[in-house]
Amino acid sequence: MKKIEAIIREERLDAVKKALEEMGLIGMTVTEVSGRGQQKGIPLQWRVGEYRVDFLPKLKVEIVCHGDDCGAAVEAIMKAAKTGRIGDGKIFVLPVESAHRIRTGETGQAVI
Amino acid sequence: MNSGDTAWILVSTALVMLMTPGVALFYGGMVRKKNLISTLMMSFAVLALVSILWVVFGYTLAFGPDIAGFVGGLDFLGLKDVGMEATSYSIPDLLYMMFQGVFAVITVALITGAVVERIKFSTLMVFAVAWLALIYGPVAHWVWGGGWLAQLGALDFAGGTVVHINAGVSAAALVVLLGARKGLGREPMEPNNIPMVMLGAALLWFGWFGFNAGSSLGANGGAANAFVTTNTAAAAAALVWILLSWRTRKPTLLGAVTGAVAGLVAITPAAGFVSPMAAIAIGAVAAAVCYFAMNFKAKIGFDDSLDVMSVHGVGGIWGALATGIFANAAIGGVDGALAGNLGQLWNQIIAVGAVMAYSFIGTLAIGKILDKTMGLRVKELEEVVGLDLSQHGERAYGGIK
């Protein structure tokens, strides 16, 4: 099992969700996060003058998938989240040790 | 007593009262999240505190029988002999007292904008008591209570000198003592809620109709003129600020509402003396001078945090001088420089200079004493944590759930 953590633009969430759904990957957790990449934040305006906001709002989409599905899922997210402009985000893939469904007590592959 | 006048001033008093919570929201939206409660609390606590101080001793210091042109005597201490009858105007004495009381409240609340995010709450409360007695009471007496500036013929329709210059300059004096917020210019100090700033500014604009149109002390043509000049100046100033910020950057909502407040400040002393066309000029120039004052302040690193001096001080100075320039005898009974009466402008200059000097030096003295005794500023750690938690044990937004 692997976990995919994708940091994406807020406005690309629907496209990402749809692309994963089409692959049969329904379950996901979405969190509002803020962070920065190479562009180092953006300037905003005060009444006169500017101040810099270092961390920009993004969404973090977390899904856990079977090893075989992961490559395709990453591809799908990559395609759906891409605009080609700076700030499109990043995807990280992590190993997952175990999974448990709270309602039934099931564990392992069946859970996801 | 006139029931129409009384009804209008009752309403105006309520309108002006609402301006202080308006100031709270206006300022509250501009600070960082960790200081939101503290900023709101400063205005709200002042509303409660000054309401009491005013009926106990504030009113008599400002409007008691004249002592040497400087301050009112203690005849009305505890509202003794201030009753339900109308003895000076066509409204009950008690109502006149209350109308003036809400002006005193908002003046003290305005000052807090310069000292947010670092002043000790307990010291601020003691400061309010001393400042009302030693600065506001005498200055209000000079201008409105029959004191020396009133005798000189200086004009201040609704509080350009008494409220705005007085608050702005006193705020600047406190900044001299307090210094800048930790991290100013290095850390981002992003406003936590700009829609809240607009809500506050809108309440100010709305309340200002009571402030200015109420200052005619009657339901009459003068009130109508003040109503129109007030709205017109605010609108002109908001538009000019939008244009100015567009010139260099983008038109911001924060700038637009700030412009409106600058226009409202500047028209305050003039509202009952000038025409609506003059109000356009007064508002437009107010936005420009306040905009450049704000730029200058930022450049020299003077942490008048929410621009009390740049907007109320500078806007009030311009408004007081503009009254001497644009006053029109057909409207308020007095001509200004444009109508050939240069002497009026001179009177205005004297009033501006006197109030600036008195409030700056007086506030500096009060602040210095409090700094030595109670301490003016919170501890460094308390400032880093934020004043909401360190001063009030409360936070604006809850955690999970």
B250 touches chain A (CB under 8 A): yes
Query: Phi/psi of residue B352, each to 5°?
Result: -60, -50
Per-residue pLDDT at A41 exceeds 80: no
Contact A52, B188 (CB under 8 A): yes
The whole-number average pLDDT for the span A59-72 is 92
- DSSP symbols for B199-222: HHHHHHHHHHHHHHHGGGSSSSHH
Task: State the CB neighbour count (10 A cutoff) for residue B397.
Answer: 10
The mean pLDDT of chain A is: 92
The whole-number average pLDDT for the span B132-155 is 98
The CA–CA distances, whole Å, from B272 to A57, A102, B156, B228, B229 equal 49, 72, 9, 10, 8
User: Which of the 8 DSSP states describes residue A31?
Assistant: E
Distance CA B198, CA B196 (A): 5
pLDDT in tens, B6-18: 999 999 999 999 9
Q: Which pLDDT band, with edges at 50, 70 and 90, does A51 fall under?
A: confident
pLDDT in tens, B91-142: 999 999 999 999 999 999 999 999 999 999 999 999 999 999 999 999 999 9
Subunit contact A48:B298, Cβ cutoff 8 A? yes
List chain B residues with CB under 8 Å of A49.
Answer: 295, 298
Distance CA A92, CA A63 (A): 11
Q: Which pLDDT band, with edges at 50, 70 and 90, does B53 fall under?
A: very high
Q: Chain B: give the shortest CA distance to residue A66, in Å.
A: 31
The mean pLDDT of chain B is: 97
CATH, residue A63: 3.30.70.120
The whole-number average pLDDT for the span B161-173 is 98
Distance CA B127, CA B362 (A): 12
Both structure tokens of B158: 């609704």
B307 touches chain A (CB under 8 A): yes
Contact A7, A35 (CB under 8 A): yes
Subunit contact A48:B294, Cβ cutoff 8 A? yes
Q: Residue B373: its pLDDT value, please?
A: 98
Which stretches within B112-252 are classed as H helix?
Answer: 121-131, 137-144, 148-152, 166-178, 194-213, 221-248
Interface test with A, best of B194, B249, B397, B400 (most A CBs within 10 A): B249
Find, in chain B, the residue whose alpha carbon is nearest to that of A44: B190
Query: Taking the alpha carbons of B142, B148, B150, B152 in that order, is the dihedral positive or negative?
Result: negative
B245 touches chain A (CB under 8 A): yes
pLDDT in tens, B363-384: 999 999 999 999 999 999 999 9
| Domain count for chain A | 1
pLDDT in tens, B195-241: 999 999 999 999 999 999 999 999 999 999 999 999 999 999 999 99
Q: Which pLDDT band, with edges at 50, 70 and 90, does B400 fall under?
A: low
- DSSP symbols for B11-53: HHHHHHHHHHHHHHHHHHTTS-GGGHHHHHHHHHHHHHHHHHH
Domain hosting residue A53, numbered range: 2-111
The CA–CA distances, whole Å, from B182 to A99, B37, B382 equal 47, 19, 11
Find, in chain A, the residue whose alpha carbon is nearest to that of B256: A47
> Which residues lie across from B377 on neighbouring strands?
B119
Helices and strands (H, E) in chain A, number of each type: 2, 6
pLDDT in tens, B342-354: 999 999 999 999 9
